[in-house]
């Protein structure tokens, strides 16, 4: 059995061990304190751990059909270096998978009302630059009208396009009317206000869509042909704005309630009358003139 003196020595030794252990713990905490002080000096904040996230691209087979990947769909990535286990990912939300391939890529600049088509470069796998200013084109604003009988005309013809508006344009809009002649979009006879204000008012009683009215389109030797627009093959005429339309909340644009078409084709027969006099031997008096139509 240990004596009292031995027990006192043991307690003293234990106290020394606890003291040394406390010193070692404080020394081990020194790097963390230094790092915390350094972070505080630079105003850094420790952020909580986040799960690893990465974008995923699904590519369907050439004969694949449309499908859907629901949320939490599991995907596997190759093992990282030094590991044999694959990385398992899960989708955060449901995604639709379309078998159709992207065919058209366009840069649209609404503030300039201009665009740039990159489709050819995209299909060829070539790099392209978005919104390249020198190559930007004005965005076309076109209305197409089709009718298999009314717009099938040849020769001298006049076409009336009547618009009933529920909202007029805040300012006059210039519009160019054309028909398809089998090769190109050809314009109707143009009427300028400088030449004849009366004829100009008759040609566009809408005054640039600032009110309801009609466009009177004239053609001398026109011949229309069918063409396909948005998958519909028919006889077409179109009206294309001759100016750009940058977005402007203060500018009201025309709203159309109805459109009516009327075509008049001039097929008048021109004839002349020439008198023919028949004389007989015994009767020198002339017979009444009979018409000879040429």
Confidence at residue 289, expressed as pLDDT on a 0 to 100 scale:
36
Domain boundaries along the sequence of the chain: 106-138, 142-265
HSE-CB for 270 with a 13 A CA cutoff: 1
β-strands 185-187, 106-109: how paired? Answer: unpaired
**Can you list the pairs that 226-231 forms with residues at least 24 positions away whose Cβ atoms lie under 8 Å?**
226/180, 227/180, 227/182, 229/144, 229/146, 230/144
At 201, which helix (H) or strand (E)? helix 197-203
Confidence at residue 11, expressed as pLDDT on a 0 to 100 scale:
75
Alpha-carbon distance 128 to 120, whole Å? 10
Confidence at residue 278, expressed as pLDDT on a 0 to 100 scale:
53
Confidence at residue 197, expressed as pLDDT on a 0 to 100 scale:
55
* Domain 142-265 grouped into CATH 3.30.160: no
Q: Report whether 70 contacts 97 (CB < 8 A).
A: no
β-strands 185-187, 232-241: how paired? Answer: unpaired
Confidence at residue 182, expressed as pLDDT on a 0 to 100 scale:
94
Q: Report whether 238 contacts 145 (CB < 8 A).
A: yes
For the stretch 99-112, pLDDT in tens is 888 889 999 999 99
Confidence at residue 285, expressed as pLDDT on a 0 to 100 scale:
43
Alpha-carbon distance 165 to 253, whole Å? 10
- pTM comes to 0.60
Which residues, given as ranges, of the chain have pLDDT below 50?
193-194, 280-294
Q: Report whether 94 contacts 103 (CB < 8 A).
A: no
């Amino acid at each position: 059995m240990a004596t009292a003196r031995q027990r006192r020595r043991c307690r003293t030794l234990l106290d020394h061990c606890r003291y040394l252990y406390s010193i070692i713990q404080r020394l081990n905490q020194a790097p963390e304190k230094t790092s915390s002080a350094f972070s505080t000096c630079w105003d850094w904040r420790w952020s909580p751990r986040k799960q690893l996230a990465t974008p995923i691209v699904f590519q369907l087979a050439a004969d694949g059909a449309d499908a859907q990947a629901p949320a939490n769909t599991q995907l596997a990535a190759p093992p990282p270096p030094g590991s044999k286990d694959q990385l398992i990912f899960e989708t955060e939300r449901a995604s639709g998978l379309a078998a159709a391939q992207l065919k058209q890529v366009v840069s649209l600049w609404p503030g300039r009302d201009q665009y740039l088509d990159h489709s050819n470069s995209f299909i060829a796998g070539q790099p392209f630059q978005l919104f390249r200013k020198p190559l930007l084109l004005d965005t076309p604003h076109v209305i197409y009208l089709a009718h298999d009988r009314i717009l099938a005309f040849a020769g001298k013809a006049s076409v009336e396009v009547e618009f009933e508006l529920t909202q007029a344009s805040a300012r006059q809009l210039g519009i160019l009317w054309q028909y398809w002649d089998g090769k190109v979009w050809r314009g109707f006879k143009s009427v300028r206000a400088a030449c004849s204000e009366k004829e100009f008012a008759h040609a566009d009683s809408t005054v640039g869509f600032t009110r309801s009215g009609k466009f009177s389109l004239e053609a001398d030797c026109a011949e229309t042909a069918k063409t396909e627009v948005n998958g519909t093959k028919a006889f077409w005429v179109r009206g294309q704005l001759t100016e750009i339309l940058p977005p402007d909340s203060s500018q009201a644009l025309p709203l159309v309630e109805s459109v009516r078409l009327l075509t008049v084709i001039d097929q008048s027969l021109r004839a002349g009358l020439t008198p023919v006099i028949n004389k007989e031997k015994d009767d020198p008096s002339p017979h009444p003139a009979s018409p000879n139509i040429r």
